[in-house]
């Protein structure tokens, strides 16, 4: 198993490095001076041992989870994580993210809805760290009103992860519900914000179909950023940026839309 090999190699490298650091004073300074060195710096070795102990303990405690991940036994992994989270109440952000992504891999939309309801009861603050991950059911079920309500709740809260993406998705839900003026105002505000190029492109692409709404701001926003993005980035670069979104949900729900935006940018 690759996971076991990585774990063993990691410990070999760490132990080898520890021995080098420990024995180097002896070879360079001799026995008498090295003894004094060890007396003065003993706490550094203690910190080193405690650190490696914590890291190894983390791996041992989560050994089964990593093994299931590596072997891609998704159903077993879901059962394991559900037991830890729902039954044993081990509610950590890392476990929650792995469970939500595994639900997504298995197309278990009900599982994601269940996880969101559970967090609202047990750890509502953690939802702010997983707003996008927990939004999948609204996209899959076509519940645009619920989608709007969900993203509105978190679009102005502090501590929300990837807040600009959340604001864009809120604007996207407003468009789906034909609330064009509210959506355009939010998109223009986003357009004036520093954003990753792929997100900035989707903002101006979303603004483009709007007519007779904030015409001056809209025109300035679109033309300025369209020229800036197209001159700074080649099409291949934006395609690679899209592939590197590093968020399964964003890739799932916005892949087609973002590809259309890239084609629109370079069509001329």
**What confidence tens digit (pLDDT) does each residue in 159-186 have?**
999 999 999 999 999 999 999 889 988 9
Q: With contact defined as beta carbons under 8 Å apart, do 172 and 138 qualify?
A: no
Residues 100 and 157 in one domain: no
**Structural domain containing residue 192:** 140-268
Cα dihedral value 126, 127, 132, 136, nearest 10:
130
Residues 96 and 146 in one domain: no
Residues 185 and 210 in one domain: yes
Residues 97 and 209 in one domain: no
Q: 3-class SS at 49? A: helix
Position 268 confidence tier, pLDDT thresholds 50, 70, 90: low
247 inside domain: yes
Q: With contact defined as beta carbons under 8 Å apart, do 98 and 246 qualify?
A: no
| Per-residue pLDDT tens over the stretch 96-155 | 999 999 999 999 999 999 999 999 999 999 999 999 999 999 888 777 899 999 999 999
Q: With contact defined as beta carbons under 8 Å apart, do 157 and 127 qualify?
A: no
| Domain end among 98, 124, 150 | 124
Residues 106 and 212 in one domain: no
Residues 160 and 93 in one domain: no
Residues 98 and 221 in one domain: no
Residues 154 and 212 in one domain: yes
End-to-end CA distance of the chain: 50
Position 63 confidence tier, pLDDT thresholds 50, 70, 90: confident
Residues 152 and 237 in one domain: yes
pLDDT of residue 96: 96
Residues 217 and 246 in one domain: yes
Average pLDDT over the chain, rounded to an integer: 85
Mean per-residue pLDDT, 225-246:
81
> Looking at per-residue confidence, does 37 or 212 come out higher?
37
CA pair distance 37, 82, nearest whole angstrom:
50
Total domains in the chain come to 2
pLDDT of residue 177: 93
239 inside domain: yes
Residues 162 and 250 in one domain: yes
Q: With contact defined as beta carbons under 8 Å apart, do 129 and 93 qualify?
A: yes
Is it the case that residue 32 has pLDDT exceeding 80? no
pLDDT of residue 94: 93
φ/ψ (deg, to 5) at 73:
-90, 80
CA pair distance 256, 264, nearest whole angstrom:
12
255 inside domain: yes
């Amino acid at each position: 198993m690759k996971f076991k090999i990585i774990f063993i190699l990691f410990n070999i490298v760490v132990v080898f490095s520890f021995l080098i650091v420990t024995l180097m004073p002896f070879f360079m300074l001799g026995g008498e001076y090295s003894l004094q060195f060890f007396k003065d710096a003993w706490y550094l070795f203690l910190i080193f041992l405690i650190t490696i102990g914590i890291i190894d303990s983390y791996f041992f405690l989560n050994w089964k989870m990593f093994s299931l991940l590596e072997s891609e036994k998704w159903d077993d992994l879901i059962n394991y994580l559900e037991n830890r989270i729902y039954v044993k109440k081990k509610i950590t952000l890392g476990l929650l993210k792995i469970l939500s992504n595994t639900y997504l891999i298995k197309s278990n939309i009900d599982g994601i809805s269940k996880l969101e309801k559970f967090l609202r009861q047990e750890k509502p603050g953690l939802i702010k760290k997983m707003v996008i991950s927990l939004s999948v059911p609204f996209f899959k079920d076509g519940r645009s009103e619920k989608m709007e309500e969900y993203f509105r709740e978190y679009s102005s809260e502090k501590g929300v992860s990837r807040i600009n993406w959340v604001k864009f998705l809120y604007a996207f839900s407003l468009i789906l519900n034909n609330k064009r003026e509210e959506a355009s105002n939010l998109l223009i505000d986003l357009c004036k914000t520093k954003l990753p190029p792929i997100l900035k492109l989707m903002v101006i692409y979303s603004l483009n179909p709007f007519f007779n709404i904030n015409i001056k701001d809209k025109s300035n926003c679109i033309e300025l950023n369209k020229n800036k993005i197209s001159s700074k980035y080649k099409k291949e670069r934006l395609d690679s940026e899209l592939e590197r979104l590093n968020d399964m949900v964003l890739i799932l729900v916005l892949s087609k839309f973002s590809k259309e935006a890239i084609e629109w940018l370079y069509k001329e």
